[in-house]
Structure 1
Amino acid sequence: MEIKFYLISLLIPIGLLLNSCTKIEYHEVENPSYLRVFNNLNYDVNLGDKNLLVPYLTMLIDPVFDEEGIPIQAAIVGDFLDKRIRYAAPYPTHSAGSTKRNNPEYPGKENVLVGPILNGFDLSSWAQIPAGAHRIVFYFRPVNDIPFFELTPELKQQVAMEGTIDLKEREIYTLHIVQKDFKTKENGLLLRKENFQNIPFSDSLVYVNFYNMSSKGFLESEARKPQGLITLRDGIKDEMNVYLSLYPEETKLFNSKTAIPDHYARYLQTMYRNTELATVSPYFNFPLFADRSKKISTNMLQNVTFLAPGLNFMDIGVGGNMMPKGLASHLTFFGLNELVTVPGNINSARFPSMIINTHSGIYNPKSFPAINTIEVVNGEAYLTTIQRKFDPPTYK
């Protein structure tokens, strides 16, 4: 008995020590709203841009300043805010094991109180923020591991943009930092009040909407990205028609003959460049099991095409790679199959599927429809996926 008591007496302090090192205290947010922030300043800084600052930011909500106007604290801090990554997954990107401080979005890696399951949608990628009006300021900061408030005063004065946001209780918001004008380098904020949680989406359909938040003048500039399948490189015109095609998972070449019947080059909408009004774009849908040979899971491929008005799919066939910049682009969304050939060898980019495949119930995998947003910013396209609640795995 004495030996057992001695061992327990040793373990208890160790356990308390471990808990004291890892415990994170969360304070309940009364009357919360839900906020997610993306840094869309995706430009690169080179030797010719001496006055252009690296787009690495700190977000301060309701900051407090000293007598010299230097911020000394804030109600909410989002530090080390890097350029957004091309795929915003439907779950928090904590990057377990990563030693890097950079955060691809807010809250992202931040250990803050996040949103709940609301009307069946997982809001764990949104931070809880007290509802009401807030002053928000974004600062350029050095690319290092020093927290913002520990920087020297001269490094805490480079304002990237600022404004006031008014958040309503229990509403969902996505805040975008954008470059409005590529020539003047004017930056701005777009606060979008989302509505997906209020729409009666079908459980058998996948949904997607589109935005072009590119800078004025980017298409005409010479600052395009390198050629390849990792980016849209040239950007797109201010007005583009959007088309959707669906293909079986084994497809290697995209055309009207290989597409799923009745799902080739379906016109969805005309998309316009916009960095001023943060209105929600309409959602379009396609069947989760358009490939009727699949019942439980599918790796059906999705292809989105942007075409300038007046062009059709015959125009981007043979010789499409000789087309002037910005007139046509493809986005390919795949499941397990990455060995696909993008038609026409024109502006192209690859993404994960707009369908979520995961272990649920007795099925591994099982396919679920998701709510997706595609945003084009200058030479890049971005996919954000929101998942709905599903049953946890069942193990035998």
Structure 2
Amino acid sequence: MKYKQLLWAFSLVLLLAGCRKTEYTKIDTPAYLRVFNDLNYVQSMDTKDSKYPSLCMIINPKMDAAGLPVGGEIVGDFLDKRAPYAPPYPSHIGNSNSVYNPEYPGKETVLAGPILNGFDLSSWAQVPSGKLRIMFYYRSYNTIPFFQLEEKLKKDVLLDTTIDLTAGEVYTLHVLEKDFNTKACGVLLRQENFHKLSLSDSSTYVNFYNYSSKGFVEADARFKPLRPTLKSFQSGIKDTMNIFYTLFKSQANPGAAPFLSNYKNVFMGVLVRNQESNRPAVYHSFPLWADAEADRIHTDMWQRFELVTPGIDVANNSYNTAVAGRELTFGNFAAVNCLLNGQVDIGGAGYLANGLILPNVLVNVHSGKYNPRTFATVNTIEVVNSSVYLTTIQRKYPAPVY
């Protein structure tokens, strides 16, 4: 009898647990927000007093009587320096290797954006629309949550400003260094429009921004990063650059890959340094099936984007063939190679020698009976001083038929 009572009690506990109501936070008329910390840190004797840009973001903060933050409507703690690549899916969620987050929402468990006009917004967070107070604090580089830090460590305000978000709109917010010499910082809130454009499934799109600090390209080399992976971007780029692209046939041996006919040094447009405008840049495109020999299921081509100052002949300049370091470019030339997953031998050969390496802007995945299948994407390439960042957005397609 006692056994039956215990069994009944255990079953009741399971039943109650299964019926427990879970309360989900709901945001009425949300906007969609993604935040990047674009601040960088150069460790040298000349910059030893610079602060490491580890941040805590608080939206609509709650303050105590002493003016110290004790909470907020939305908190993005452990906001670390941005990663070079932001893929078309929330790659950081569930990653417990470190508390530090290369973007918001990133690892945060939040209400994510929906599928909006066919675009996957799961890397954007739902946030309240309207006017919001947003604060960024420098935080100690440790694993202690911001609000549990000592009081003296919660006073270092980087930025305190207001943003205004329209319901249903998509925003990308950047924390930027505005002036390289004074180290003044600010935010840039860009209202995206990719989900409102009539884009073809058979074209790949990319736009460009130069969010570099005032005075960076002219600054002395000893204040700039010395990382070999930056290649021709170590000097930075000048305020006005022409953009050209070349498509290469294969990633199997990228250093020796032939370019596709009619897709070498194609002019795309002009890139002008601008940290003030929040308007989205024009998207340029190239065909997904530029390779006439592709079977229209999969293509192995990769892309090279070259930035050169007006007046330089991109087809015949010495930067294109030399291993272009800071002493050669002076901000006049820089190149991005987009291939594989971005993990390519930094030595390289041919075009790889002077181009910074980022992942391919095309997505190759197992889909239905095809493994792999190639999909076009919408991409943004942002230059911030000597760093380059690629954000890829993919459209959401119906489930494949097997």
The change in CA–CA distance for 1:376 and 1:25 in structure 2 (over 3 A counts) is farther
Question: How many Å separate the matches in 1 of 2:101 and 2:329?
Answer: 36
The verdict on how the C-alpha distance between 1:2 and 1:106 changes in structure 2, with shifts beyond 3 A counting, is same
Task: Tell me, in whole angstroms, the C-alpha distance in 2 between the residues paired with 1:3 and 1:278.
Answer: 69
Match of 1:355 in 2: 362
CA offset at residue 356 of structure 1? 1.1
Q: How far, CA to CA, are the matches of 2:321 and 2:396 in structure 1?
A: 44
Instruction: Tell whether 2:249 aligns with 1:248.
Output: yes
1:289-337 CA distance string (max 9 Å, x none): 1112222011211000011111112113444636342111110111379
Q: Closer, same or farther in 2 for the Cα pair 1:238/1:342, shift >3 Å? A: farther
Secondary structure of the residue aligned to 1:234 is coil
Partner of 2:112: helix, strand, or coil? coil
Match of 1:90 in 2: 88
Q: Does 1:391 align with 2:380?
A: no
Q: CA deviation at 1:95?
A: 5.1
Q: What secondary structure, in the 3-state scheme, does the structure 1 residue paired with 2:289 have?
A: coil
Aligned to 2:57: 59
The alpha carbon displacement at 1:391 in A equals: 3.2
Q: Which amino acid in structure 2 is aligned with residue 330 of structure 1?
A: A
Q: Per-residue deviation at 1:18?
A: 11
Matches within 5 A, 1:148-159: 148-159=146-157
Contact kept? 1:320, 1:344, Cα under 8 Å = no
Match of 1:283 in 2: 283
Q: Equivalents in 1 of 2:359, 2:367: separation in Å?
A: 19
8 Å contact 1:244–1:267 — kept in the other structure?
yes
Identity %: 43
**Deviation sequence 1:257-310 (CA, Å, 0-9, x none):** x21011111111111111122221000000111112222011211000011111
* Equivalences for residues 217-228 of structure 1 within 5 A: 217-221=215-219, 222=221, 223-228=223-228
1:69 maps to: 67
Q: 2 CA distance for matches of 1:88 and 1:157?
A: 31
Which residue of the partner structure matches residue 37 of structure 1? 35
Separation of aligned partners in 1, 2:82 and 2:145: 20
Q: 1:282 is matched by which residue type in structure 2?
A: V
The secondary structure found in structure 2 opposite 1:164 is strand
Task: String of CA shifts for 1:319-366, please: whole Å, max 9, x gaps.
Answer: 4636342111110111379465353843x2111111111122221211
The residue that corresponds to 1:380 in the other structure is 387
Query: What is the aligned counterpart of 1:323 among 328, 331, 336?
Result: 328
CA distances 1:35-94 after superposition (whole Å, capped 9, x unpaired): 000000022344543542210000010112122221111111000000000000111123
**CA pair 70-261 structure 1, distance change in 2 beyond 3 A:** same
Change (3 A) 1:288 1:7: farther
TM-score (norm 1): 0.90
Is the 1:108–1:125 Cα contact (8 Å) retained in structure 2?
Answer: yes
Matches within 5 A, 1:278-317: 278-294=278-294, 295-313=296-314, 314-315=316-317, 316-317=319-320
Structure 1 residues 212 and 15: alpha-carbon distance in aligned structure 2, compared to 1, 3 A threshold: farther
Q: Gaps spanning 5+ residues in structure 1: where?
A: none
Structure 1 residues 177-217: Cα deviation after superposition (integer angstroms, max 9, x where no partner):
00011110000100000001100000100000000001111
1:2, 1:362 → 2: CA distance? 57
Q: SS of the counterpart of 1:41?
A: coil
Whichever residue aligns with residue 297 of structure 1, its letter is H
Assess if the C-alpha contact under 8 Å between 1:360 and 1:390 holds in 2: no
Given the alignment of the two structures, is residue 238 of structure 1 paired with residue 243 of structure 2, yes or no? Answer: no
Report the number of matched residues: 390
Deviates more, 1:330-339 or 1:71-80: 330-339
Q: CA deviation at 1:392?
A: 3.4
What pairs with 1:331-342 in structure 2 (closer than 5 Å)? 331-335=336-340, 338=344, 341-342=349-350
Distance 1:261 1:39, change over 3 A: same
Letter in 2 for 1:293: E
Alpha-carbon distance between aligned partners in 2 of 1:275 and 1:178, rounded to the nearest angstrom: 8
Residue of structure 2 equivalent to 1:99: 97
Which shows bigger deviation, 326-335 or 310-319?
A: 310-319
Separation in structure 2 between the aligned mates of residue 51 and residue 335 of structure 1, nearest angstrom: 38
156-165 vs 73-82, which moves further: 156-165
Residue identity in the other structure for 1:234 = S
Task: Give the CA RMSD over aligned residues.
Answer: 2.7
Aligned with 1:229: secondary structure?
Answer: helix
Structure 2 stretches lacking a partner, 5+ long = none
Contact map agreement 1:299 1:334 (CA 8 A) in 2:
no
* Cα offset, 1:6, TM superposition: 6.7
Instruction: Please give the TM-score of this superposition, normalised by the length of structure 2.
Output: 0.89
Checking the alignment, whether the CA contact within 8 Å between 2:41 and 2:51 is kept in structure 1 is no
> Which residue pairs with 1:268 in the alignment?
268
Tell me if structure 1 keeps the 8 A contact 2:176–2:188. Answer: yes
Q: Secondary structure at the match of 1:323?
A: helix
Q: 1:15 to 1:370 in 2, by over 3 A?
A: farther
* Mean Cα deviation higher: 107-116 or 211-220: 211-220
Contact preservation (8 Å) 2:94, 2:107: no
Q: How does 1:207-222 map to 2 (within 5 A)?
A: 207-221=205-219, 222=221
Give the secondary structure class of the aligned counterpart of 2:254: coil
What one-letter code is carried by the residue in structure 1 that aligns with 2:245?
Answer: L
SS in 1 for 2:47: coil
Note the alpha carbon deviations across 1:86-111, whole angstroms, 9 max, x for none: 00011112353533100000000000
Query: Whole-Å Cα distance in 1 between the matches of residues 306 and 19 of structure 2?
Result: 52
Counterpart Cα distance in 1 of 2:137 and 2:94? 27
